[in-house]
Amino acid sequence: MAKLTIPAEELLRSGHSACPGCGAALAMRYVLKALGPETIVTVPASCWTVIGTPYPTTALDVPMLDNPIEATGASVSGLRAALDALGQKGLTVVGFAGDGGTVDIGLQSLSGMLERGTDAIYVMYDNEAYMNTGIQRSGSTPSLAWTTTTPVGGASRGKLEPKKDIMAIVAAHHPVYAATGNIAFPEDLIKKVAKAKALSGPRFFHVLAPCPPGWRYDAERTIEVGRLATDTHLFPLYEVENDRYRITRRIERPKPVADYLRLQGRFDHLRVEEVASLQEAVEARYRRLLALESASA
Amino acid sequence: MAREVLSGDYAQSYAAKLARVDVVAAYPITPQTSIVEKLADLVVTGALRAQYIKVESEHSALQACVSASALGARAYTATSSQGLLLMHELLHWASGMRTPVVMGVANRAVAAPWSIDVDHADSMSQRDTGWIQFYAESNQEVLDTVLAAFRLSEDEAVRLPSMVAMDAFYLTHTVEPVDVPEQADVDRFLPPRSKVGTLDPHRPTRLGSFTSPEHYTEFRHAVASASKAAAQLAPTVEEEYARIVGRDLGGPLPRYLTDDADAILVTMGTATTTARSTVDALRAEGRKVGLAKLRRFRPFPSEEVRALGRTGARIGVLDRSFTYGAAGAAATEVMAALYAASPRPLVRSFVAGLGGRDITPALVRSLYRHLLEEEGPEVVWADLKVPPGEATAEALHG
Ligand SMILES: Cc1ncc(C[n+]2csc(CCOP(=O)(O)OP(=O)(O)O)c2C)c(N)n1
Ligand SMILES: [Mg+2]
């Protein structure tokens, strides 16, 4: 039997108020397992505002600061500056933000944090929509997905535009470390977060966090959905360290993207040719990733 | 104590340095920019040991200060006009999180249309954010008030942020002799921050949080109480400052020749200096006029205004801002404070000096004339050039 590499310590308490099967809760759980208790988390308006449990309770066994939705990048800079000024060493500062709070309204402060070189980890948990406000499209919603603001019906086929490539945007800032992660592959995620913890400077994680109510699948299938995202090459696991790309999970025979789409109600309306177009887009994106990997090797 | 020739901007920078701020985060905007340029110099040369965060916006500047302050750091930022408007969301966060950030504000008109010159619309638009607000008349006052603001803001009973506002260019870019206190005296006056209410990096607590109707009102009431505490504590802070540094800050509403006055003008910022010299001139002509300087706008000194009302004089409030559909921002507060006064003095709202228009001695004279001799509208745009149907003091007096 393979040795379990996941730390036993739980820093997310079981009393949190996430929905059953919430990928965002797992993302926090694994990130904190990798980082340990000497961590401060700053969280913008998002599902995590609620998951963290209301006053006067808290679901985390580490300090948590709330910040407005677009300012996570600035909040981590302020926390780090205070720790430095007050001579507090050995703490990891983490911004833990949703996709909307990162790729849309928070893109500026993320860019600022990366550019000014803040010594902190920014985790974007990606549930591919504004979930806390009730499943509206974000720049990170994949094309053709149903959301409440990209309804399906008449001529409308869901979201028209492709998903914003946040990893490319982040990589263009040349941070010391950036990686994708998936709650369905905790060993990979935890290994990367632990590696990032040992580095200093700005570090970024794009973590896929499936959302049962938002993606319209049954809560017990979160891991299955998450696994398929990676096993189809739709959400490849890789890292970018000092501009060098490395795929951390290679799939010899990727499954058809249709297997992933089929499980989710948000893609229920897709026609055969639309599934084929998504399959093509996934393959093209993966080829670009391979090219980046070999070009930077 | 060293006497130096400083601009209002540099008075802010040197005050922040004397306060030994831990964290500075700021974004450039005219006419605030030289504050943070000077602070950058002071940090680079080692004269100030602080973390200087180069943020990409004012929104981020204040967020960075709030987060730093939440951990117990002494944080300072400065801005003006559009930058202050952009910070609006964070202004509420700062007071709600009880982070005693101190901010320099170069009072500048807001767009549209663009103007880089003085008025108070920027900070007046922030009056309901829970921040303590001071308005300075001179560069000396700027420096002294920033130091006093840190002390007041950081008091355990207060823990509210402060802004120290000063008129664009008239103060920000005008140099005056300023007595710069000794570091040792400032250190005695302003001890390091207490850790009460801050986020302990080793204790799992949540700051900010998410509330239900069960708790939200009490959070708001706590800010209201803290604001009241700030008003109660301010005299003690000023006494301490006077005792240690040797300068009297004058309270929230210092008065000039008001006891026997028939007409009193309430002013803010640099218009006070012009008004004071005009009072002298009018007194020499036998007119019984007086002046009150509104140094602190939040918490509003209602008691002091009521005391002013008891002089029996007519009161004119000169605002460099306007709250649409009502009157000048300070005027509405003065009127509200005097509503229950018996007898209730006559109060007029004078709006002038917007977008950098000069408030001249002649204009101030016309305001007193208006108060002393004429009946007229409650709200007067006193220096309007083309009156679109509304009376102006100038027009009323030919
Ligand atoms: C300035 C501002 N605009 C809008 C909102 C409303 N809002 C709260 S949470 C949220 C959704 C955030 O989406 P995302 O970052 O993807 O996180 P998720 O809710 O999906 O976890 C929005 C739009 C807000 N809090 N602040
Ligand atoms: Mg989301």
The partner residues of A179 in beta bridges, in order of sequence, read A205, A239
At residue B1 the predicted structure's pLDDT band, cuts being 50, 70 and 90, is: confident
Judged against a pLDDT cut of 80, whether residue B390 lies above it is answered with: no
Residue A115 burial by Cβ neighbours in a 10 Å radius (0-12, 13-18, 19+): middle
Q: Yes or no: is domain B2-192+208-245 CATH 3.40.50.150?
A: no
Determine whether domain B255-381 maps to CATH 2.60.120.10.
no
- Higher pLDDT: A285 or A4? It is A285
Torsion angle of C-alpha atoms A194, A199, A200, A202, degrees rounded to 10: -70
User: Residue A107 CA: which ligand is closest?
Assistant: 1
**CB distance A55–B209 less than 8 Å?**
yes
Q: Is the pLDDT of residue B396 over 80?
A: no
Mean pLDDT on A269-294: 98
Tokens of A120: 């902190």
Write the pLDDT tens digit of every residue in B330-348: 999 999 999 999 889 999 9
Outline which parts of chain B fall under CATH 3.40.50.970: 2-192+208-245
CB A54 within 8 A of CB B212: yes
Q: Which of residues 89-118 of B touch A (CB under 8 A)?
A: 89-90, 93
Query: A290 pLDDT exceeds 80?
Result: yes
Atom 11 in ligand 1: residue holding the nearest Cα: A130
pLDDT tens-digit profile of A137-174?
Answer: 999 999 999 999 999 999 899 999 999 999 999 999 99
Q: What pLDDT does B398 receive?
A: 38
Task: Give the number of other Cβ atoms within 10 Å of residue A108's Cβ.
Answer: 16
Residue to probe by mutation, ligand 1, list A69, A72, A136, A138, most atoms within 8 Å of CB: A69
- Per domain, the residue ranges of chain A are 23-296
Q: Stretch B44-53: mean pLDDT, rounded?
A: 98
Strand partners, A238: A247
Q: How far apart are the C-alpha atoms of B86 and B103, rounded to whole Å?
A: 14
CB of A130 within 6 A of ligand 1: the answer is yes
Does the pLDDT at position B287 exceed 70?
yes
Half-sphere exposure (CA, 13 Å, Cβ side) for B375? 0
CB A18 within 8 A of CB A47: yes
Q: Which residues contact B224 (CB under 8 A, 6 or more apart)?
A: none
pTM of the model: 0.97
Q: Reply yes or no on whether the pLDDT at B7 is more than 70.
A: yes
Whole-number pLDDT of residue A1: 58
How much of chain B is helix, strand and coil, in % rounded to 5? 40, 20, 40
CB B131 within 8 A of CB B234: no
B56 → chain A, closest CA residue: A112
Determine the pLDDT at residue B375. 81
Q: Where does CATH 3.40.50.920 sit in chain B? A: 255-381
Q: Write out pLDDT tens, residues B208-247.
A: 999 999 999 999 999 999 999 999 999 999 999 999 999 9
Q: Under DSSP, is residue B393 helix (H, G, I), strand (E, B) or coil?
A: helix
Measuring CA to CA, which residue among A68, A248, A233, A12 is closest to residue B91? A68
**What is the nearest CA distance from B62 to chain A, expressed in angstroms?**
9
Per-residue pLDDT tens over the stretch A77-102: 999 999 999 999 999 999 999 999 99
Calculate what percentage of chain B has a pLDDT beyond 90. 94
Q: What is the mean pLDDT of residues B99-119?
A: 98
When pLDDT is averaged across residues A179-194 and rounded to a whole number, the result is 98
Per CB-CB distance under 8 Å, the chain A contacts of B203 are 63
Q: Could you say which of A50, A70, A78 has the minimum Cβ distance to residue B53? A: A78
A187 is written with which tokens?
Answer: 């060993």
Of all helices (H) and strands (E), which one includes residue A213? Answer: helix A212-215
Q: Any idea what the Cα angle at residue B32 is, between residues B31 and B35, rounded to 5°? A: 130
CATH architecture of A23-296: 3-Layer(aba) Sandwich (3.40)
